[in-house]
């Protein structure tokens, strides 16, 4: 265990002396410590129980936007963090806009454009040459459009920063959207589409969208074979010109650079943009109420996947912290939560079980519990989860539960900021979602806002949100067995939701239209 | 112990020299089931307390079981080091096992198997591929085990397993993070000196017969919509010089969309929808794996012939200088990225320490791979990616909706 490791490292023996960044691995080895010399030290007494261990009082000041935020000449806001430990630079460009920008009938356009930006070549480089050059630099360039945002990220060695930024500029301003790459991506997307009903996980996720937000909301407008086949290179080019514009961009960069130098380089990246785009409109809001009842999708699998849905909150709600702590005690806290304890630890009914309060950035999210249990105990496990909702609403949480939840919120905050990449990532997210403008001290006040939550606050939120008698319950699994429960626990789904059970047909994977009950498994 | 200053976190990892490979027929899935029981309480840590204490400290924790080892780890604020050490020492010294805990965790593990294997497209074909490639039982059976064996596991089995494999000298402790070594060693001594020594099991060993001919099997998969193909080659154990060379082959043929096989079969010639190449490195015989989904209209016979043709060409011509340079850069950047978190460093130290008796071999291995030339890489492909070492599994969709095909 001694530092003999160092002797293995003969830097001069390396095949390429230019690879100076081998140093961090050398540091890894050099820092191995030896127990020799410590073993003789007198041991201190250990307490009998782990709760008696005493730790230093917790004091943490989260990173502040003002230490990282800068407005570039182009108006683009950038968050920058220097870190010289490793010779790496990480740059992320956040793009306002997402799949909600897909015009009706052109579902899949944002996804296709996002995928091809970094992978479809540029005006001066074929896709293959770009890939080859990036691979040669061991640089990672990725791009994608998600539901509410796009991202283009570049991770590379700091010595290659000039070349990397030149490539990034080409990719952002002059993407080639090479035909064969575009067609290949469409083929692959179509192949994935054909597999939409293979896994009950996918079916559950999809139907959860339809139940939560209705058929017309953008999250429920899935791409189809027809919409995909209708996408042309011209559509992709038009989408790019319209939305990939500095007025929709934010930057987070961390790593081995000087802040002022990086700001100057980013000014250059955005200067003289060759197209005139538009500012992305805000994310739409759903206009749909959850319908109480049980919704069953018949799929021939021996494990039922269950989602239990309730209306949630906007994160700007004055009681959001109390609601989040309530959810943590219910099922959000993993192994310390009530749902996990009963469903997994006490009853062995599921491998994972829990609940989540969606963050509600743009519109009120959903409060949902979910687990997977063998088909004949899925109704029984659902009953337990609903029971736990009622218990939390009608009873009280213990001091210990409240304290555990609070400690876990407060003490995990530093981990969310544990690398410079995470620091600028979280801060730029505040800017992107508008909270920097409305509540710039969110993280500074975070600990106090958690500490202030009382048992009465938690109870109020439980009473407000846990309408256990009117849940929307979605279950995917083999219908015959779901409706024929284990005789030891003869629970019926319909009884859990006021008698109402609706069978939801599987959807045709290529059209997303219901296939008619019983026509396919 | 590896002090890593900068971020105020520490990872504690205890890796036990026990994995699914030690399980005899009739007892499959036991190492993993036992991992679940390790979180259910010990003499001074009540049921549920392990999770609560780590959560209150703002930490995260988990355990994983592989064919070759079982590990347990916590990452916490550095000032809470004592908590992780206490939890690990207490369950090493005095785990509390009961019939009720066994029954609950047995059911949870069965649900895990239904979740991860039984109802996932292609998942069971990976079990078949291992069973086909290996002769000896240790690697022939899956880590998750069989439902029958899980059902048959008894409390006596659990107690015996704990006595036998969870002895202190059968474990390795790694502490990585923002700690002062002298102080941290003192704390480790405090926590663990109360754990009495127990008899350590004999070092596990097994042999596989020399590969002697191609093997083939077909799997009908009711959850899959697309036909798929596994082409695997049984090769030497981890850290064998052959494996160093194959790790270069893996990155030239695979490694995302710049890999040779992906480029030709998925992109240029449109024969496959997806293709991945991976080197599954184990303490015993390892597998060089290729897994691919066929494009509609392309038969599995054709896809297999094309893959084998490309392997032959690679074995004849070897890598280009440019490919070698690209792989060296890739290897170095992934080595740097592999040492970026306290947890990943702890895993590297533990596995090298436990398997090889020297926790610091990682840089040595990186260097060994970097030192290979194109001829050595070509030679390894020519000697090892050959018919006698090969096993092929074809996966044929068999679901009720699949024969009709979507409209």
In tens digits, chain B (407 residues) has pLDDT values of 999 887 788 999 999 999 999 999 999 999 999 999 999 999 999 988 999 899 888 888 999 999 999 999 999 999 999 999 999 999 999 999 999 999 999 999 999 998 888 888 898 999 999 999 999 999 999 999 999 999 999 999 999 999 999 999 999 999 999 999 999 999 999 999 989 999 998 989 899 998 889 999 999 999 888 999 999 999 999 999 999 999 999 999 987 777 899 989 998 898 999 999 999 999 999 999 999 999 989 999 999 999 999 999 999 999 999 899 888 888 888 887 788 789 999 999 999 999 999 998 999 999 999 999 999 999 999 999 999 999 999 999 997 654 433 33
Residue pair A157/A138 in contact by the 8 Å Cβ criterion: yes
For A60-71, write each residue's pLDDT tens digit.
889 999 999 999
Q: What is the dihedral of CA A261, A266, A272, A276, to 10 degrees?
A: -160
CB contact under 8 A, A191 and B296: yes
The verdict on B49 and B179 lying in the same domain is yes
Residues A74 and A26 placed together within one structural domain of the fold: no
- CA–CA distance, B71 with A427 (Å, rounded to integer): 35
**Would A285 be classed as within a structural domain?**
no
> Is B158 in the same domain as B306?
no
Residue A502 to residue A454: CA distance in whole angstroms: 40
Contact between A336 and B194 using a beta-carbon 8 Å cutoff: no
- Residue B366's alpha-carbon distances to A271, B255, B260, in angstroms, are 42, 17, 23
A262 and A384 belong to one structural domain = no
* Beta pairing, strands A472-477 & B60-65: unpaired
| Residues in Cβ contact with A37 at an 8 Å cutoff, skipping those fewer than 6 apart | B182
N- to C-terminal Cα separation, chain A: 58
Whether residues B248 and B309 share a domain: the answer is: yes
Residues B33 and B141 in one domain: yes
CB within 8 Å: B189 and A373: no
Q: Is B197 a member of any domain?
A: no
Q: Which residue on chain B is closest to A420 by alpha carbon?
A: B7
Which helix (H) or strand (E) is A172 found in, with range? helix A161-173
Note whether B295 and B169 are same-domain residues: no
State the count of interchain CB pairs (< 8 A) between A and B.
271
The answer to whether the pTM exceeds 0.95 is no
Q: Helix or strand or coil: residue A280?
A: coil
Q: What's the whole-number mean pLDDT along residues A287-315?
A: 94
Structure tokens at B29: 């899935």
Label residue A40 by pLDDT band (50, 70, 90). very low
Q: Residue B360 and residue A21: Cβ atoms within 8 Å?
A: no
Q: Considering only alpha carbons, which residue of chain B is nearest residue A521?
A: B401
**pLDDT score at A24:** 43
Closest chain A residue to the Cα of B251, Cα to Cα: A135
Same domain for B100 and B176: yes
A90 lies in the same domain as A161: yes
- Judge if A388 and A338 occupy the same domain: yes
Q: Which of B75, B108, B400 sits opposite A348 (nearest CB)?
A: B108
Sheet of A149-157, strand order:
A69-71, A77-82, A249-255, A88-96, A149-157, A140-145
Examine the domain organization and report whether B278 and B173 are in the same domain: no
Spatial CB neighbours of A301, under 8 Å, sequence gap ≥ 6: A200, A375, A476, A477, A478, B118, B119, B223
Please give the DSSP secondary-structure letter assigned to residue A355. Answer: E
pLDDT tens per residue, range A165-210: 999 999 999 999 999 999 999 998 998 899 899 889 999 999 999 9
Which among A101, A107, A100 is positioned nearest to A225, based on CA atoms? A107
Contact yes or no for B362/B334 (Cβ under 8 A): no
Q: Are B31 and B23 in contact (CB under 8 A)?
A: yes
A342 to chain B: closest CA residue: B104
Region for B180 from its dihedrals, namely left if φ exceeds 0, alpha if ψ lies in -120 to 50, beta otherwise: beta
Q: B242, B271, B244, B268: which is closest to B257 by C-alpha?
A: B268
Average of per-residue pLDDT across A246-252: 98
User: Which residues are within 8 A (CB) of B212 and not within 5 positions of it... i.e. 6 or more apart?
Assistant: B388
CATH number of the domain that residue B338 is part of: 3.30.830.10
Q: Do B329 and A418 touch (CB under 8 A)?
A: no
Three-state secondary structure call for residue A229: helix
Q: How far apart are CA B391 and CA B215, in angstroms?
A: 5
Which of A14, A159, A180, A348 is the mutation pick for testing B, counting most B CBs within 10 A? Answer: A348
Same domain, B177 and B266: no
SS3 helix, strand, coil % of chain A, rounded to 5? 45, 15, 40
**For residue B92, what are the domain limits?**
2-192
Query: Same domain, yes or no, for A109 and A8?
Result: no
**Is B201 part of any domain?**
no
Distance CA B80, CA B54 (A): 9
B76 CA: distance to closest CA in chain A (Å): 9
Residues of B within 8 A of A184 (CB-CB) are 266-267, 270
Cβ distance A5 to B360 less than 8 Å, yes or no, reads yes
User: Which residue, among B2, B124, B294, B360, would best test binding to A if mutated, counting the most A CBs under 10 Å from its CB?
Assistant: B360
> Taking CA atoms, what residue in A is nearest to B370?
A15
Residue A508 domain-assigned?
A: no
pLDDT of residue A346: 86
C-beta neighbour count of B113 within 10 angstroms: 21
Read off the DSSP letter of residue A11.
G
The domain that holds A228 is classified in CATH as: 3.30.830.10
* Cβ contact B57–A191 (<8 Å): no
How much is the average pLDDT of A86-91?
Answer: 91
Establish if B204 belongs to a structural domain. Answer: no
- The answer to whether position B405 is within a domain reads no
How much is the pLDDT for B246?
97
Does residue A236 share a domain with residue A364? Answer: no
Q: Is residue B298 a part of any domain in this protein?
A: yes
Within a domain: A340: yes
Taking the CA of residue B226 and the nearest CA in chain A, the distance in Å comes to 8
In this structure, the answer to whether residues B152 and B81 fall within a common structural domain is yes
**Whole-number Å distance between alpha carbons of A119 and A175:** 9
Q: Smallest Cβ distance to B267: which of A31, A41, A184?
A: A184
How close does chain B come to A521, measured CA to CA in Å?
6
Same domain, B184 and B225: no
Residue A92 counted as domain residue? yes
- Phi and psi torsions of B99, nearest 5°: -60, -40
Q: What is the pLDDT of residues A302-348, one digit of tens each?
A: 999 999 999 999 999 999 999 999 999 999 988 889 999 899 888 88
Cβ–Cβ under 8 Å, residues B253 and B288: no
Q: Are residues A37 and A100 in the same domain?
A: no
| CA-based torsion, B231, B235, B239, B242: positive or negative | negative
Would A199 be classed as within a structural domain? Answer: yes
Pairing of strands A303-311, A472-477: antiparallel
CA distance A351 to A340: 9
Find the mean pLDDT for residues A103-109. 96
Are residues A439 and A488 located together in one domain of the fold?
A: yes
Answer yes or no: do A306 and A438 share one domain. yes
What is the rounded CA–CA span in Å between residue B322 and residue A136? 8
Total number of domains in chain A: 3
* Strands A472-477 vs A293-298: parallel, antiparallel or unpaired: parallel
Name which of B8, B38, B47, B52 to mutate to probe chain A: the one with the most chain A Cβ atoms within 10 A of its Cβ.
Answer: B52
Subunit contact A48:B106, Cβ cutoff 8 A: no
Nearest to A302 among B114, B326, B367 (CB): B114
pLDDT at residue B341, as a whole number: 85
- Whether residue A191 and residue B273 make contact (CB cut-off 8 A), yes or no, is yes
A455-461: long-range contacts (C-beta < 8 A, 24 or more apart)?
A: A455/A396, A455/A397, A455/A399, A455/A402, A457/A319, A457/A322, A457/A325, A458/A322, A458/A325, A458/A326, A458/A329, A458/A397, A458/A402, A459/A393, A459/A396, A459/A397, A460/A319, A460/A322, A461/A319, A461/A322, A461/A323, A461/A326
CA distance A514 to chain B (A): 13
CA distance B8 to A449: 23
With respect to residue A286, please indicate whether it lies within any of the assigned structural domains: no
Same domain, B269 and B340: yes
Partners of B366 on chain A (C-beta within 8 Å) are 25
Q: What gap in Å lies between CA A169 and CA A184, rounded to an integer?
A: 25
In this complex, the residue of A43, A44, A336 whose CB is nearest that of residue B51 is A336
Are residues B306 and B389 located together in one domain of the fold?
Answer: yes
Best of A49, A50, A126, A403 to disrupt the B interface (most B CBs within 10 Å) is: A50
ipTM of the complex: 0.79
From B255, which residue of chain A is nearest by alpha-carbon distance? A135
**Residue A89 C-alpha, separation from nearest chain B C-alpha, in angstroms:** 12
Query: Does residue B210 sit within a domain?
Result: no
pLDDT at A2 over 70: no
- How far is Cα of residue A217 from the mean position of the Cα atoms in its chain? 20
Q: Band the pLDDT of A57: cuts 50, 70, 90.
A: low
Domain count, chain B: 2
Q: Which domain holds residue A357?
A: 293-503
Same domain, A149 and A171: yes
Pairwise CA distance, residues A16 & B371, whole Å? 10
Cα distances (angstroms) measured from residue B364 to each of B244, B359, B375: 11, 11, 21
Quick one: pLDDT at residue A51? 80
Q: How far apart are CA A283 and CA A440, in angstroms?
A: 21
**Do B377 and B369 meet the contact criterion of CB atoms below 8 Å apart?**
no
Residues in chain B with CB shorter than 8 Å from the CB of A404 are 52, 55-56
How distant is the Cα of A17 from the closest Cα of chain B, in angstroms? Answer: 12
Per the domain annotation, does B208 fall within a domain?
A: no
Whether residue B234 is contained in a domain is answered as: yes
The pLDDT score that the predictor gives to residue A14 is 27
- Distance (Å, rounded) from C-alpha B127 to C-alpha B130? 5
- Calpha distance B315→B307 (Å, rounded): 12
Contacts of B111 in chain A (CB under 8 A): 303, 348-351, 372-374
Question: Is residue A167, in this structure, part of any structural domain at all?
Answer: yes
Task: Please report whether residue A112 resides in a domain.
Answer: yes
Task: Taking residues A410-439, report their average pLDDT.
Answer: 92
One-letter-per-residue 3-state SS of chain B? CEECCCCCEEEEEEEECCCHHHCCCCCCCHHHHHHHHCCCCECCECCCHHHHHHHHCCCEEEEEECCCCEEEEEEEEHHHHHHHHHHHHHHHHCECCCHHHHHHHHHHHHHHHHHHHHCCCCHHHHHHHHHHHCCCHHHHCCCCCCHHHHHHCCHHHHHHHHHHHCCHHHEEEEEEECCCHHHHHHHHHHHHCCCCCCCCCCCCCCCCCCCCCCEEEEEEECCCCCCEEEEEEEECCCCCHHHHHHHHHHHHHCCHHHCHHHHHHHHHCCCEEEEEEEEECCCCCEEEEEEEEECCCCCHHHHHHHHHHHHHHHHHHCCCHHHHHHHHHHHHHHHHHCCCCHHHHHHHHHHHHHHHCCCCCHHHHHHHHHCCCHHHHHHHHHHHCCHHHEEEEEEEECCCCCCCCCC
State the nearest Cα–Cα gap between B22 and chain A, in angstroms.
24
Query: Please, what is the average pLDDT of chain A?
Result: 88
């Amino acid at each position: 265990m001694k530092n003999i490791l160092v002797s293995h490292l003969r830097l001069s023996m390396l095949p390429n002396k230019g690879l100076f960044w081998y140093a961090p691995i050398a540091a890894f080895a050099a820092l191995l410590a030896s127990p020799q010399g410590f073993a003789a030290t007198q041991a201190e007494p250990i307490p009998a129980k782990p709760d008696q261990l005493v730790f230093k009082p917790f004091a943490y000041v989260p990173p502040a936007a003002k230490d990282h935020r800068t407005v570039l000449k182009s108006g683009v806001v950038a968050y920058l963090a220097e870190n010289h430990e490793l010779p790496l630079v990480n740059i992320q460009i956040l793009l306002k806009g997402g799949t909600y920008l897909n015009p009706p009938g052109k579902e899949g356009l944002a996804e296709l454009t996002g995928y091809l930006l970094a992978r479809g070549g540029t005006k001066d480089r074929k896709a293959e040459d770009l890939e080859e050059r990036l691979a040669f630099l061991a640089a990672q360039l990725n791009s994608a459009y998600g539901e509410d945002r796009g991202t283009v990220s570049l991770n590379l060695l700091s010595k290659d920063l000039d070349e990397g930024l030149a490539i990034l500029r080409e990719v952002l301003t002059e993407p080639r959207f090479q035909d064969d790459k575009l067609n290949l991506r469409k083929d692959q997307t179509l192949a994935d589409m054909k597999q939409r009903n293979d896994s009950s996980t996918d079916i559950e996720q999809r139907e959860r969208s339809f139940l939560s937000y209705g058929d017309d909301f953008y999250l429920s407008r899935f791409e189809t074979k027809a919409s995909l086949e209708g996408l042309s290179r011209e559509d992709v080019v038009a989408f790019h010109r319209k939305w990939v514009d500095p007025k929709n961009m934010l930057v987070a960069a961390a790593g081995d650079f000087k802040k002022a130098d990086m700001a100057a380089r980013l000014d250059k990246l955005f200067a003289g943009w060759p197209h005139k785009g538009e500012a992305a409109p805000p994310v739409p809001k759903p206009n749909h109420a959850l319908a109480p009842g049980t919704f069953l999708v018949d799929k021939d699998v021996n494990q039922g996947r269950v989602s239990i849905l309730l209306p949630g909150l906007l994160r700007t709600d004055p009681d959001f912290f109390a609601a989040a702590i309530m959810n943590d005690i219910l099922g959000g806290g993993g192994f310390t939560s009530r749902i996990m304890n009963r469903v997994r630890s006490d009853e062995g009914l599921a491998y994972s079980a829990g609940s989540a309060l969606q963050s509600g950035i743009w519109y009120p999210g959903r409060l949902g519990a979910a687990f997977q249990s063998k088909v004949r105990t899925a109704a029984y496990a659902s009953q337990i989860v609903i029971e736990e909702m009622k218990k939390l609403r009608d009873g009280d949480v213990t001091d210990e539960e409240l304290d555990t939840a609070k400690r876990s919120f407060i003490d995990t905050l530093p981990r969310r900021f544990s690398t410079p990449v995470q620091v600028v990532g979280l801060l730029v997210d505040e800017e992107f979602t508008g909270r920097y403008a409305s509540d710039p001290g969110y993280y500074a006040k975070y600990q106090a806002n958690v500490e202030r939550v009382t048992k009465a606050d938690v109870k109020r939120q439980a009473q407000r949100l846990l309408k256990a008698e009117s849940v929307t319950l979605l279950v995917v699994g083999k219908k015959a067995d779901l409706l024929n429960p284990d005789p030891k626990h003869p629970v019926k789904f319909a009884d859990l939701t006021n008698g109402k059970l609706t069978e939801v047909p599987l959807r045709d994977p290529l059209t997303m239209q219901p296939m008619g009950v019983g026509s396919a498994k | 112990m590896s002090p890593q200053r900068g971020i105020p976190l520490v990872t504690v990892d205890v890796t036990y020299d026990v994995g699914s490979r030690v399980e005899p027929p009739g007892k499959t899935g036991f190492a993993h089931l036992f991992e679940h029981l390790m979180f259910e309480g010990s003499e001074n840590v009540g049921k549920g307390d392990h999770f609560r204490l780590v959560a209150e400290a703002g930490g995260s924790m988990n355990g994983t079981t592989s064919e070759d080892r079982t590990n347990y780890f916590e990452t916490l604020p550095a000032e809470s080091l004592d908590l992780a050490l206490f939890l690990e020492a207490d369950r090493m010294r005095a785990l509390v096992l009961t019939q009720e805990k066994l029954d609950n965790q047995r059911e949870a593990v069965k649900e895990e198997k239904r979740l991860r294997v039984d109802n996932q497209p292609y998942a069971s074909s990976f079990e078949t591929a291992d069973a086909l490639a290996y002769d000896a039982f240790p690697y022939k059976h899956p880590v998750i085990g069989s439902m029958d064996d899980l059902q048959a596991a008894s409390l006596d089995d659990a107690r015996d397993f704990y006595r036998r494999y969870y002895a202190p000298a059968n474990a390795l402790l790694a502490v990585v993070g923002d700690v002062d070594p002298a102080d941290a060693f003192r704390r480790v001594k405090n926590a663990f000196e109360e754990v009495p020594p127990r008899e350590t099991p004999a070092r596990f060993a097994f042999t596989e017969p020399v590969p002697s001919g191609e093997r083939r099997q077909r799997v009908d998969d009711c959850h899959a919509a697309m036909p798929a193909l596994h082409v695997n080659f049984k090769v030497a154990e981890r850290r064998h010089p052959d494996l160093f060379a194959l790790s270069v082959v893996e990155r030239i043929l695979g490694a995302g969309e710049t890999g040779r096989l992906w480029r030709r079969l998925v992109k240029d010639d449109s024969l496959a929808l997806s293709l991945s190449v991976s080197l599954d490195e184990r303490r015993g015989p390892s597998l060089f794996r290729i897994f691919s989904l066929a494009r509609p209209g392309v038969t599995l016979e054709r896809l297999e012939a094309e893959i084998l043709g490309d392997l032959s060409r690679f074995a004849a011509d070897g890598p280009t200088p440019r490919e070698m340079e690209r792989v060296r850069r890739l290897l170095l950047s992934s080595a740097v990225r592999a040492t970026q978190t306290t947890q990943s460093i702890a895993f590297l130290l533990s596995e090298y320490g436990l398997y090889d008796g020297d926790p610091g071999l990682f840089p040595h291995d990186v260097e060994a791979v970097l030192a290979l030339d194109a001829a050595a890489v070509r030679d390894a492909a020519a000697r090892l990616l050959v018919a006698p070492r090969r096993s092929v599994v074809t996966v044929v969709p068999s679901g009720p909706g699949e024969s009709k095909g979507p409209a």
